[in-house]
Structure 1
């Protein structure tokens, strides 16, 4: 497990997304996650929706099911899956700004709340499915992240995780100059490998039903973000002020580091599909 040199916690994560809210929405929109390209001809908007659809496909969602979006951001994935799959969704975000945005863009059957997944308070065995799109990285206690998902899901429930991962064989240079700074600048308490995630999933009681490395299909996200950010900084004074301010300058400068991390294999992007066992009568 890769850990940054400075401590990161839920408060730091919330402040990061609250403070940079204008940049996130201006540069990338209301989907705070990578795009997924299949042909390479998709627009960025189509690509981010394709990632959400890939999650929905792996969950085998059925109309009327109750789902949990862990680290839901602005609620865009929840809104899309509610609309396209007919499910009901409870979403949790640490960010007050993200929850505020969701509140002024309400849709039926989607409830976005401010809350920490590690202390979510949801009833046990109450959700049919759950997903976490690039939120597990922000969890201080990743083992508890898996434990809570297992507790909240019904027997037979499915859990899909889209995660930034450290390359299994990342050497010291990559760890020191790429992965640890990415964790620090992105407010990630730690970054695990595929093997770390699968071990924690198994320890929580899940079966790993599938895994796909889609690094090559998502990596162009950061080149697009870099171009849009430069343009926004030239045209918008608020974006420029936030981007060069001392408090979050590192998060902006981390974009070139992320591009290099993908190109060198230091960082991977994986999609896990997990299942909770069906209880059998004794």
Structure 2
């Protein structure tokens, strides 16, 4: 991706390393509440397992994780399904944390997906969990996933979406600031993603809306952030520092929660296959 955008995304995750890990954990993605009584940790693991099931993973397969964060999702997939995983993240801090885990089945690289040199048809499956939103050219990102997956291989995308009927004030006061503060290049609509998947030559298998099952994530994060302001000296110092530009993401939590409640944002899991 353009160097300045890549740098901003990397800085966002490097600067917010303490915030993300203390407030939510190393699976830097939504939790999935299917029963409703899961703990946040169980819910985060639930989304990972959903992705693995949608990919139809089985022992011995090779998987590509696009925008892998701390590599925790990759590690969970390797443990549960017996696969090997190659992950890419822009964040040097995330890659370093992943390397400390020392799992021989998981390799995490600090690299830009849009500039990757991975061989064609070198993976059995690929996933992108809440990462295409950071990329200025999602169509190219998806085409790249189609390129590296073998014929018959599956691709799963978990995406933050802009509702097609979002009102102007919701876009101005919620969606656009969320993108700016969260270093998202943008949020596509469901129609956008279906078009990009089709343009990549992929066969659509499913597009399922999980908005109501994931939105609790942000209530949990808000509650933990407020608690941290009272009891966590390191996090309080970070959030109160004028020198930390990315601290504004703590305010973004409120915008995201509101956007979900109002229906301006959606969360959809897309499953596709390379013919």
Same fold per superposition (TM over 0.5): yes
1:216 to 195, 201, 212: 212
Number of matched residues? Answer: 271
1:97 pairs, out of 93, 99, 105, with: 93
Q: Supply the RMSD in Å over aligned alpha carbons.
A: 1.2
Deviations 1:16-44 (A, max 9, x none): 00001011101111110110001111000
Counterpart CA distance in 1 for 2:262 and 2:56 is 34
Q: Within 5 Å, give how 1:245-264 maps onto structure 2.
A: 245-246=241-242, 247-264=245-262
Partner residue, 2:22: 26
- Give the corresponding residue for 1:280: none
Shift of 1:141: 1.2
Matches within 5 A, 1:72-151: 72-151=68-147
2:23–2:221 CA contact under 8 A, matched in 1: yes
- Deviation at residue 238 of structure 1 after TM alignment: 2.0
Does the 8 Å contact 1:8/1:187 carry over to 2?
Answer: no
CA distance in 1, matches of 2:54, 2:4: 31
**Kept after mapping to 1: 8 A contact 2:16/2:247:** no
Separation (CA, whole Å) in 1 of partners of 2:258 and 2:4: 23
Give the match for residue 238 of structure 1: 234
Query: 2:171 is paired with a residue of what secondary structure?
Result: helix
Distance 2:50 2:241 in 1: 36
* 8 Å contact kept, 1:8–1:188: no
CA distance in 2, matches of 1:61, 1:191: 28
Once the 2 structures are TM-superposed, how far is the Cα of residue 163 of structure 1 from its aligned partner? 0.6
CA shift for structure 1 position 107:
1.3
What is the DSSP-based 3-state SS (H/G/I as helix, E as strand, rest coil) of the residue aligned with 1:9?
A: helix
